[in-house]
Structures are given as structure tokens and as C-alpha cells.
Amino acid sequence: MKKNIASNQFISAEKSALNESSNFKEKPKNLKGVIVRASSLALLMGAAYLVYVLQNDFGRYSLEGLDSTWGIVFLIITGSLLFFRAGFFFYNLYLYLRYKPVASVANNELPTCTVIVPAYNEGKQVWATLMSLAKSDYPEGKLQLLAIDDGSKDDTWEWMQKAKKDLGDRVSIYQQPQNKGKRHALYRGFHLGTGEVFVTVDSDSEVTKDTLRNLVSPFVTNDKCGAVAGNIRVLNNDHKALLPKMLDVSFVLSFEFVRSAESSLESVLCTPGALAAYKREAVFGCLEEWINQTFMGQASDIGEDRAMSNMILKQGYHVLFQRNAFAYTNVPEKYTGLYKMFIRWGRSNVRENIAMAKYVFTDFREGSKAGSRILFLNQVLKLVMSYPTILLMLFFISMDPLLFLSSTLLSILIWSSFPVFFYAKKYKLSESFWAYSYSILYTFGLFWITPYAIATASKRGWLTRG
């Protein structure tokens, strides 16, 4: 997605990002957004009232359902699913409370670092990305910036040349002879890089001043650290589009809660392409396997970040998360772009869970492996239950559509309240209510993604790139 972000906008926004209790940008009031949030909350509260009014129907339908074998089966599945979901939530909460980001180490302790920025049809945004990296509070003599144009068809190369002109020897730019995919651009960067640590940053992302030093500090304090995931927020959430606002709340929960919990187990499952760091030895320990990865006989051209994380875990390294290392990335602003992005992520998730199954129950690393196995089983259960969940939904719709709708919305109100409180405590109360809107959208508009991704896991293609 091409966004022209002026550097002076980013500098002013960066100041607020250094404080985790504030927003990345001051957002103008958006009447449409207020209406959507208020409507979502009203709908959920109305559903709660409707469930109260129809509470006698719950008992009647439950008794009717128990008269059949299928009713008992559905009741057992539903109960088990809710029990496991609640149990895993509290387990994550316990892990989250244990988590602490690693504080930045001193300049003399920081390792040499190569930052690789692959770009395809990114336009001016790649210049903004490189400028934000150049402003990093990192010893200049220890920092190498590489930008690689993956055969873009627009003016991306011209903007890379402008960055080169502005930054001089601080950045090196390269051009692939043809578009070969992000994985191949990164592969070239890994071979060109001289740093002890590699950092990958997407060309539609920008970082704050202290991001790099915070991101690589765990490699200094933990010899077993092989990879570190950054904290991703949404860059384009000050536009009129509503999806970025919803995704920003979703990202905060996904990274600051879920990945914090995974980091407590030293087993973060995915280091995001928008911002991740890797130990040089860990990368070259799996680089050829990674670049030649296939699925069902076809070369893998998606999920390079999840694949790298998986292969580094497999080598026995720890994979951590740094909550204090921020990157702000552009996300889809329309439904079409959103579901395509989710399909790509879903297919990658299917592939990498299959790959993880081959080693997670072996003696793949020293120390406890139980946490990695629990995380894996949770991932598998989500995939396995995707089809029964849809069948359950159809079953209850056939019984009573109104009762199904009201009870589903009530469940959204209950389960989404945690993301609301979590976001409100860390950032801004008024923006936290997007969690309700996003949950409604996901439940009724994106529920089909996981089953579809499973069924089409062998398909190739980035989908959101022209």
C-alpha cells in the first residue's frame, strides 16, 4: 500500500510514541468513526437486553437439543471450546503479568546491526521508512542500512535514489533485475549484510528513534536469543478509513498482550516482517532451507517471517518480543485488502503449524519445551475447530436466528471488553471502543477466513500486491 508520509509528520508523531501511554498521532475528530463506535456499542447492549428477554428460550432450546444425540454432541463441543478458551486466556494473562521488556543496553554493548528494507511498488513511503531509520539513536559506526528494490514498476527506485542522495554513505541501495518476491530480496540482503544482528523492516513502516537499540538489546543480555519481534502499531489510522482504527486496537492486543505472553515462554511464534531482528548465526543456520522452502511441491512465496521464526525456534534458540521497540505500518483501508491480507496470513499459519509439528515434540532445545508445545496445541486447536464452529453456527441459526444473533452479540460484548480495557489503560479510552466494532466485523465478515485458508493452503501469491 503506497502512502506518502512526510518526514515532519513522523517526527512530531514520534515524540508521543516514546511514551507507551499515549497515541502515535493526535487524530482529528471523525464523526463517522464516532457513529460507528456508538452504533456498535448500542447494538451489543441491545443484544444483551434481548438475551435477557429471551432467557427462557435458552432453557427450552437446550432441553430440545438434548433430546437428540447431535444436541449432546454440540453441547459438549461448545462447552469444551469455551472452557479451553477461558483457560488459555487466563494462562496468557498470567504469562503477560510475568513479562518485562529488556531495557536498552549501553552504546559500547550494542552489536553491529544491518537493517534490510525490501520494497516493491512502495513509492515515496520507502523514502520515509529509510529516513526514520536514519534518525535512530544507534551508533552510526555500528549501523548498516540496506534498501532493496524488488523490481518495482512504479517510482520506488527513484525514491530510494533520493534517500541515497539525502543520506549518502549511511544507506546502500540495490535493485533486483526483476520481481522475485520479498523472500529473495531479504535473502540478498542477508548475504550483503555485515552486522552481527539483522533487522528487517517493511518498506511501508516507520520506526521511532529508540526502536533499533531496544530491539537488539535482548541479544546482548541473552546468549540463547535467536530472534526478536518488534511491537507493531498502525501508521495510517489518522485517515478517514475505519479499518485502520479497528486494526490498531487489534494489533495492540495481538502484540502487547499475546506476544508478551509468548515471550515469557521464550517462544514467540511469529516475528513480524514490519519489524524483527535476527542473530546472524541463527539466520545462516537455516538460510538455505528458508529460501528453498516448499509446500506441497511449490516454492513458498508467502509467510517468510513466520517461516524464519519457526526455523530459528527449531534450532533451539529463544524467540522474544520487545514491547518497547515500535514500528508503525500501513494497513489495508478497504475490506478487499483486509481479507486478502488475512488469507495470506492464514495460509502461512497452516503451513508453519504443519512444519512446527515435525519438531515441537522432540528435544529441540535445552530447558523447558512445555510452553512451546502449549502454544502449538492452541494454534492447532484453532485450526481444527474452524469447521465445527461454522457447523455450530449454522445449527444454532437453524434453531432460532434471533436467539443466535443476540447470544453471539452478547458473547462479543463479553469477550471484547478485555481488549477495550487493555487498550484504554495503555492508550486512549475513546479509541478502545473500536475493539467492539472490529469483533463484530470479524465475527460476521471474516469468520470464513480460517476455513478458506486451510482449504487453499497450497495456493501461492501475495494477494495484496499488484
The per-residue pLDDT for range 337-390, each reduced to its tens digit, is 999 999 999 999 999 999 999 999 999 999 999 999 999 999 999 999 899 888
**Total number of domains constituting the chain:** 1
Name which of 1-10, 138-147, 262-271, 305-314 the model is least confident about: 1-10
What is the residue type of 222?
N
Question: Of all residues in the chain, what percent carry a pLDDT higher than 70?
Answer: 86
- Quick check: 119 and 126 in contact, CB under 8 A? yes
Q: In this predicted structure, what is the pLDDT of residue 25? A: 43
- Averaged pLDDT, 168-194: 96
Predicted confidence band of residue 466 (pLDDT cuts 50, 70, 90): low
12: left (phi over 0), alpha (psi -120 to 50) or beta: alpha
Name which of 43-57, 103-117, 162-176 the model is least confident about: 43-57
Name which of 114-118, 190-194, 308-312, 388-392 the model is least confident about: 388-392
CB neighbours of residue 68 within 10 Å: 10
Q: In this predicted structure, what is the pLDDT of residue 395? A: 79
Q: In this predicted structure, what is the pLDDT of residue 103? A: 97
Q: In this predicted structure, what is the pLDDT of residue 300? A: 94
State the cell numbers at 209.
528513534
- Averaged pLDDT, 293-311: 96
Res 133 pLDDT > 50: yes
* C-alpha torsion sign, points 23, 27, 32, 34: positive
Report the candidate in 453, 431, 452 with the shortest Cα–Cα distance to residue 348: 453
- Averaged pLDDT, 263-291: 98
C-alpha distances in Å from residue 355, one per residue of 131, 228, 257, 321: 37, 20, 25, 22
Cross-strand partners of 146: 116, 172
Q: Which residue segment(s) compose the domain that 28 sits in?
A: 1-466
Cross-strand partners of 113: 143, 197
Res 192 pLDDT > 80: yes
Name which of 78-82, 261-265, 299-303, 353-357 the model is least confident about: 78-82
pLDDT tens digits for range 206-230: 999 999 999 999 999 999 999 999 9
Report the candidate in 451, 458, 323 with the shortest Cα–Cα distance to residue 390: 451
Predicted confidence band of residue 31 (pLDDT cuts 50, 70, 90): confident
Q: In this predicted structure, what is the pLDDT of residue 73? A: 64
Q: In this predicted structure, what is the pLDDT of residue 56? A: 59
Q: In this predicted structure, what is the pLDDT of residue 68? A: 59
- Averaged pLDDT, 235-264: 94
Res 28 pLDDT > 70: no
Question: Of all residues in the chain, what percent carry a pLDDT higher than 90?
Answer: 72
CA atoms within a 13 Å half-sphere pointing along the CA-CB vector of 175: 14
Average pLDDT score over the chain: 88
Q: In this predicted structure, what is the pLDDT of residue 67? A: 53
- Quick check: 403 and 54 in contact, CB under 8 A? yes
pLDDT tens digits for range 410-434: 888 888 999 999 999 999 998 999 9
Q: What share of the chain is helix, strand, coil (3-state, %, to 5)?
A: 60, 15, 30
Which ranges of 277-365 would DSSP assign to H, the alpha helix?
Answer: 280-284, 287-291, 304-314, 335-357
Compute the distance between CA of residue 337 and CA of residue 334 in angstroms, rounded to an integer: 6
DSSP-based three-state secondary structure for 276: strand
Place of cell 546472524: 280
Compute the distance between CA of residue 378 and CA of residue 125 in angstroms, rounded to an integer: 37
Q: In this predicted structure, what is the pLDDT of residue 149? A: 97
pTM here?
A: 0.88
- Averaged pLDDT, 28-46: 72
Predicted confidence band of residue 238 (pLDDT cuts 50, 70, 90): confident
pLDDT tens digits for range 67-92: 556 556 666 666 677 778 788 999 99
Cross-strand partners of 147: 117, 173
Compute the distance between CA of residue 115 and CA of residue 82 in angstroms, rounded to an integer: 43
Between CA 71 and CA 75, with CA 72 as vertex, the angle to 5 degrees is 85
**CATH code (residue 163):** 3.90.550.10
- What are the b/e assignments for 7-17, b being 16+ CB within 10 Å? eeebeebbeeb
